Chain A
Amino acid sequence: MSIWQCFIMAFKSLSTSKMRSLLTMLGIIIGVGAVIVIMALGNGMTVYMNDSFAAMGTTNISVNISGRGSSRTVDVDDMYEFYDENSDLFNYISPTVSAMAQVRGEDNEIYTPSIMGVSEQYLDIKDYDLSSGENIRYLDIAQNKKVCVVGAFYDHTVYSGNAVGQNIKINGENYLIIGAVEEQDDKTDENSIDNFIYVPYSTAARYLARNTTISSYTLVVNSDENVSQGIKTIKNRLYETFNSDDYYNVSSLTEILDIMNEMMDTMILILAAIAAISLVVGGIGIMNIMLVSVTERTREIGIRKALGAKGKHIRTQFVVEAATTSALGGIIGILTGIGLSTAVSKLLQAAMEVDITAIPTATSIFVSFGISVAIGIIFGYLPANKAAKLNPIEALRHD
């Protein structure tokens, strides 16, 4: 008797009691569905996270130098020299000086934007375009000029579209607005990322920052593959000066992204494992129903044995029946999971305006199908073995 025959028998047996079969499968359906949705959502979130990071620049490397006294230090000129020496690795460099300052615009309101002292390459690093005016020039940096490039918030809201050429007061001093950046956020308000002011790093270090030494840099490598090479090269250069790695810190978004991805994977795995518990519960449900079924069909088993069915025939029949039940539950669960994932994506996009697309992974589909079949076989074996061992005389006498 072939396995195919067993399948036909199993399907017949399942279709004679549809309600019971469905209820038996429920545990597996829920388990598989949950695993698929969790994996899909996790996958969607990882993709979303990677995209967001890519927008922020995964090729960026931040360097922070805390310094070791005044004798040993790496200054702006040293960094530029290093950058020129490694032009095959790096595309851009900009010292970064953050400052907190009060800003008063033409409307006499006070704002607290993020003020950054940067180089002329910083707009390229951020991949920002100017909507009007021009960029900071090297000359502005060399001469510590009080000029600035402003975000769209100032251009649109504070100066109503003609910021370029006007003055803005930073810490009470006038800065000439030489350029305005295109808007980066849909809602250009005070809390958006469009609320920023870039000034030459030399100016920022001299007039705006608490600490006049420039210690932070952003470097951009020319491709994603070169990030770790770039980090290594920078670290080697800094180590030459400091003879210790306690006085500087080199990091990149890619590194952070890797860590976050790892955490994400762990989280998904834990959640999926919890969902998989319901698969085990489903398996126990199948075992339970199969045991009832064996008792109910004792006479049938007796007849089959009298007609020449061996123990293995009966065992195969019941194991295949259990496996078919759980595999069918698995398929329904997979379809439910795919449906739910799509629904959840739509809901997230509609309700939270987050563009997370929950895509069920092929791996999660195949693995959960495989697991559900395996559960059927494992939990079907005990009842099947019980059936196979029935004494035909007693089984025939059974009502």
Chain B
Amino acid sequence: MITLKNIYKIYENGDTTTYASNNVSINIEKGEFVAIVGQSGSGKSTIMNIIGCLDVPTSGTYLLNNVDVSTMDDNELAEIRNKMLGFIFQQYNLIPKLNVMENVELPLLYAGLKPEERHERAMESIKRVGLLGKEKNHPSQLSGGQQQRVSIARALAGNPSVILADEPTGALDSRTGREVLEFLQKLNSEGNTIVLITHDNSIAKSANRIIRLHDGKVVYDGPSDVAEATVQAHVSFDEDPLLNSKEGGNET
């Protein structure tokens, strides 16, 4: 489903050259729940932007549903994002002046659906996240957890191939954060492919597979239950205080 082959993302700034992605190759199958983990500066945002079709690699190939998207232009990428990807952001990224219904309808609007169909699908999506009856509310009238569920509903509305969750629990307290993760696991059990991007190992453990990035390179790719040992190895190597907190935190 997602195939990244020898992805490089190189930024040149004067005479310094930064390898934000350095020969990254990842393969994700349909129905997987993968966490991409890494500290800040590890290149996980770059990989997320590339997987999310918000950016294109400097070199390498990215096949999404067997379509090469690595050389597409902005408008083609917009269409791919609209049809194949659902985004869940850390800051929810709801549009404040639109109500819940209108927010969830947004991707369907750009897909060119008719109003009735849009409405129906948005409603179904809102029902799935358990916010029925809140359609007319504005984001400011909802709690953080509810807002994140609206953004999940929005991600689901377009019926995407992949759901990309970027630090989905980052702005939530640990209890609601757990609820969101459980909901993602439920979605995965229903057959959705989910890619979770986080710096927090404890959160990454909700996924079945962990891909760890460091300095733009993949340093671990395997089941989440054996990832612990490699974390320790790297922490002692990097002396990264963030990774030392085993409980994970709500750092935002």
Residues of chain A touching chain B, judged by Cβ–Cβ distance below 8 Å, are 1, 5, 12-13, 16, 299-300, 302-313, 392-393, 396
Contacts and interface: CB of A to CB of B under 8 A. Distances in A.
Given A12-B97, A299-B93, A392-B54, A308 B75 contact: no
Contact of A308 (B49, B55, B83, B89): B83
A309 B78 contact: yes
B82 interface: yes
Interface of B: 49, 52, 54-55, 74-75, 78-79, 81-83, 87, 89, 93-95, 97-98, 106-107, 109-112, 154, 158
Contacts of B107: 307-308
A395 to B, nearest CB: 10
Most buried by B among A16, A299, A396: A396
A5 to B, nearest CB: 6
B75 A307 contact: no
A302 B54 CA distance: 10
B75 A303 contact: no
Nearest to B81: A308
A313 B110 contact: yes
Nearest to B45: A393
Nearest to B94: A303
Contact of B110 (A1, A300, A302, A392): A1
A300 B75 contact: no
Contact of B97 (A16, A305, A310): A16
A303 B107 CA distance: 10
Contact of A307 (B49, B97, B106, B112): B106
Contacts of A13: 97
A5 B109 contact: yes
B110 A307 contact: yes
B93 A303 contact: yes
B97 to A, nearest CB: 5
Q: SS class of chain A's interface: helix, strand, loop or mixed?
A: helix
Contacts of B154: 307
Contacts of B95: 300, 303-304
A235 B122 CA distance: 84
Contacts of B97: 12-13, 16
Contact of B87 (A12, A307, A309, A310): A307
A308 B52 contact: no
Nearest to B79: A308
B106 A304 contact: yes
Contact of B111 (A304, A308, A393, A396): A308
A393 B54 contact: yes
B74 A306 contact: no
Contacts of A12: 97-98
A13 B95 CA distance: 12
A1 B109 contact: yes
Most buried by A among B81, B111, B112: B81
A1 B82 CA distance: 13
Contacts of A302: 93
A1 B112 contact: yes
Nearest to B74: A311
Contacts of B93: 299, 302-303, 306, 396
B82 A308 contact: yes
A313 B75 CA distance: 10
Given A311-B74, A393-B54, A306 B112 contact: no
B122 to A, nearest CB: 13
Nearest to B76: A310
A312 B79 CA distance: 12
Nearest to A12: B97
A315 B182 CA distance: 39
B244 to A, nearest CB: 27
A12 B99 CA distance: 11
Most buried by B among A16, A308, A311, A396: A308
A299 B93 CA distance: 8
Nearest to A309: B110
Contacts of A1: 109-110, 112
Contacts of A313: 110
Given A300-B95, A308-B83, A311-B75, A393 B110 contact: no
Contacts of A392: 54
B87 A306 contact: yes
Contact of A305 (B78, B89, B111, B112): B78
A307 B80 CA distance: 10
A302 B166 CA distance: 15
Nearest to A8: B102
CB-based closest 9 A-B pairs? A308-B82, A308-B110, A307-B107, A310-B78, A308-B81, A310-B75, A303-B93, A309-B110, A307-B106
A313 B111 CA distance: 11
Most buried by B among A5, A307, A310, A312: A307
Most buried by B among A5, A16, A305: A305
Contact of A306 (B52, B94, B109): B52
B54 A310 contact: no
A235 to B, nearest CB: 72
Contacts of B106: 303-304, 307
Nearest to B115: A5
Given A303-B94, A308-B82, A308-B110, 19 more contacts: A1-B110, A1-B112, A299-B93, A300-B95, A302-B93, A304-B110, A305-B78, A306-B52, A306-B54, A307-B82, A307-B110, A307-B154, A308-B158, A309-B78, A309-B82, A310-B74, A311-B74, A312-B75, A396-B54
